[in-house]
Amino acid sequence: MQRDDLILISVDDHIIEPPDMFVNHLPKKYRDDAPQLVHRDDGTDVWQFRDTVIPNAALNAVAGRPKEEYGLEPQGLDEIRPGCYDVHERVKDMNAGGILASMNFPSFPGFAARLFATEDPDFSLALVRAYNDWHIDEWCAAYPGRFIPMALPAIWDAELCAQEVRRVAAKGCHSLTFTENPAVMGYPSFHDPYWNPLWRALCDTNTVLSVHIGSSGRIAVPAVDSPPDVMITLQPMNIVSAAADLLWSRPVKDYPDLKIALSEGGTGWIPYFLERVDRTFEMHATWTLQDFGGKLPSEVFRDHFLTCFISDPLGVKLRHEIGIDNICWEADYPHSDSMWPGAPEELGEVLERFEVPDEDTNKMTHENAMRWYSFDPFAHVPREQATVGALRRAAAGHDVSIQSRSKRVIEPSEKLEAFRSRARAAVAAAKK
């Protein structure tokens, strides 16, 4: 298949939320206490919610910027591409990158919206609903067929979470962002029947539990003085633990329609993982009392789990060892792993290297995403206008050049110290 003929749906991108997101959706009585985007004297913008301050870390929005500007230091909205927080500019960037549709994870509330879990459950629920309504009714609805809607959970209450899943499903949203390890966050584990109302709601509404790496808040650093490269290398490792935890749990046995996405977790590790779980089952099921109804764990994995990749040559090569119906593509815009706007070129090179046939390509690039997330972009965008080539022609003249946007010169030593400070804070929090 020619690269211009690819149809790309990304199941993992990110929003840098705009400052006015709560204006139209949060009840008036709560607005004064809602999170606020605060512009500081040093030029950075941070979200502040009561005593919690969430900076806009540079690595979260580096699309179109030189690698010298990567880092964890805070930054202002005027230092990032407008497509990070402006939906109209985002669609222009998507067109220029040849991307038909995108599913966007949250930023400042955290992937599991733990920030919104206050001592007042009514206020907490109002925040979650306001965010979800803004995301579905403003961000996604601005360009029908271009975004897969995603909802935040009411993480602190399984019953309320189930109710929110049903509410947003009625609005056409069939993806729920969730934590890879609720126990780490102080909630019952996946093995606890506490979550049964959520599993039922997900199955009843055909909604995918989208579990993103880093969603438990853990930083995978073995030592505080480790270099950032260790953390970046290990980022997908928490998702491997989550995959094992969920695969061996009761929900995948008791809820045959449950669907779980391992978001931004990559695919190259999965063939070994499947071999290992089958070996574990063969050697230990007699005393661990695991029973998958006559199936192997690897077969059950393919019944329940969706995986995704950016380019991942090894995963593409071993796609049939993973399960060709269980793989989706992701762009990760505007994070530092993204190859925007050259993702079609990078992906195309991998597909060509392994001579991937059109049938497999179509499944991985868009058909699996459409099926798993109950999403039909072609109801709004004609197929002939949905290809990489057609979208890029529609974006003619849109500036995608690499540009320096930082207002301050930050030395690498200062960036490293910011990373170590964050690591030390994470370790201290874990000890509490």
User: What's the rounded mean pLDDT across residues 222-236?
Assistant: 73
Structure tokens given for 161: 């979470």
Name which of 166-175, 324-333, 400-409 the model is least confident about. 400-409
423 band by pLDDT with thresholds 50, 70 and 90: low
Q: Which of 48-52, 57-61, 107-111 has the lowest mean pLDDT?
A: 57-61
Predicted structure pTM score:
0.94
User: What pLDDT, on a 0 to 100 scale, did the predictor assign at position 222?
Assistant: 53
Mean pLDDT of 160-176: 98
- Dihedral (Cα; 180, 183, 187, 193), 10-degree rounding: 90
Q: What is the pLDDT of residue 273?
A: 97
HSE of 53 in the Cβ direction (CA atoms, 13 Å)? 8
Among 407, 426, 420, 431, CA closest to 218: 426
Check residue 35 and give its pLDDT: 96
| Integer Cα distance of 4 and 406 in angstroms | 33
Tell me the average pLDDT of the chain: 92
Task: Provide mean pLDDT across the span 402-416.
Answer: 79
Query: What tens digit of pLDDT does each residue of 279-338 get?
Result: 999 999 999 999 999 999 999 999 999 999 998 999 999 999 999 999 999 999 999 899
Q: Could you give all domains of the chain from N- to C-terminal order, each with its CATH number?
A: 3-37+82-396 (3.20.20.140)
The vertex-150 CA angle with 96 and 11, nearest 5°, equals 45
Residue 200: its pLDDT value, please? Answer: 98
Instruction: Report pLDDT for 128.
Output: 98
The Cα 33–Cα 310 span in angstroms is: 39
Pairing of strands 208-212, 259-263: parallel
For the stretch 243-291, pLDDT in tens is: 999 999 999 999 999 999 999 999 999 999 999 999 999 999 999 999 9
Residue 218 has what pLDDT?
56
Count of beta carbons in the 10 Å neighbourhood of residue 189 = 13
